[in-house]
Amino acid sequence: MRKVNIPISDEVIHSLKVGDTIALTGQMLTGRDAVHKWMIETFIKKTREPQGDDLEVYEAIKPILECGVIYHCGPVVSGLDTGDYKFVAAGPTTSIREEPYQGDVMRHFNMKGVIGKGGMGALTLQACNEVPGVYLHAVGGAASLIAKSVEKVLGVHKMDFGVPEAIWVLQVKEFPVVVTMDSHNNSLHAVVEEKSKANLEKLIS
């Protein structure tokens, strides 16, 4: 398993290929539906005016996402009453819900990695080619194991979105993932889909 530090350089991104197993170390953010919608509407397409702490949060997360990574995750977190946060479970959520947003978010922040499960589509693959970046598949059903890679919760933003949808700032060590979409226009998910479609056509023909 190859060790990769965050932030990630373009050189490292270009060296990664579909099927590579890597272990990430550094800071990353979590972000799901509410976060991506907020990013797009407030700072990218600007269809809504910044409100409350929007600008403050944007300035806080921007340097972390520069050459950084976002994790599609709805964590189970202890210490909510005391502020002594700890990830109890940190499994990936299904990524395809972010397909309408992800490419634009990657370009805007110069973001190099997206972690989730289930893969993403052509829009994200195109962004991986352009930015450049990679889509990284985390193991579903291993939420407690993955949580052990989270050394520390450094902070949290947008708790008004709710605990699973908030932006959690994490320090991770050797976080295990597999490259399933690379910067060379290769997608393991597209290959699987094509093979599945071909097999289905054989069955029904």
Which one of the listed residues 36, 137, 157, 189 is annotated catalytic? 36
Q: Are strands 76-78 and 113-116 parallel, antiparallel or unpaired?
A: unpaired
Band of residue 176 on the pLDDT scale cut at 50, 70, 90: very high
Residue-wise pLDDT for 65-113, tens only, equals 999 999 999 999 999 999 999 999 888 999 999 999 999 999 999 999 9
3-state helix, strand, coil in the chain (%, to 5): 40, 30, 30
CATH hierarchy code of domain 2-204: 3.20.130.10
Between CA 119 and CA 54 the distance in angstroms is 29
The residues that bridge with 150 in the sheet, in sequence order, are 172
Residue-wise pLDDT for 2-52, tens only, equals 999 999 999 999 999 999 999 999 999 999 999 999 999 999 999 999 999
| Extended beta strands in the chain, E state | 2-5, 21-30, 69-71, 76-78, 86-89, 113-116, 134-137, 150-157, 167-181
Which of 78, 63, 125 is CA-nearest to residue 99? 125
Which of 13, 68, 69, 65 is CA-nearest to residue 183? 13
Helices (H), 32-187: 33-39, 54-65, 99-109, 122-130, 143-147
Q: What is the mean pLDDT of the chain?
A: 92
Residue whose entry in the numeric block shows the structure tokens 């539906």: 33
Phi and psi, residue 158, nearest 5°: 60, 50
| Catalytic-residue membership of 36 | yes
Residue-wise pLDDT for 178-189, tens only, equals 999 999 999 997
What pLDDT, on a 0 to 100 scale, did the predictor assign at position 31?
98
SS3 63: helix
179 within 8 A of 18, measured Cβ to Cβ: yes
What pLDDT, on a 0 to 100 scale, did the predictor assign at position 145?
75
129 within 8 A of 8, measured Cβ to Cβ: no
Contacts of residue 177, defined as CB under 8 A and 6 or more positions apart, other chains included, come to 21, 22, 23, 24, 115, 136, 137, 138
Residue-wise pLDDT for 104-159, tens only, equals 999 999 999 999 999 999 999 999 999 999 999 997 666 677 888 999 999 999 99
Q: Which long-range contacts (CB under 8 A, 24 or more apart) does 10-17 make?
A: 10/112, 10/132, 13/112, 13/132, 13/133, 13/134, 13/183, 14/132, 14/183, 14/184, 16/134, 16/179, 16/182, 16/183, 17/179, 17/182, 17/184, 17/186
What pLDDT, on a 0 to 100 scale, did the predictor assign at position 174?
95
Domain range summary for the chain, segments of one domain joined by +: 2-204
What pLDDT, on a 0 to 100 scale, did the predictor assign at position 104?
98
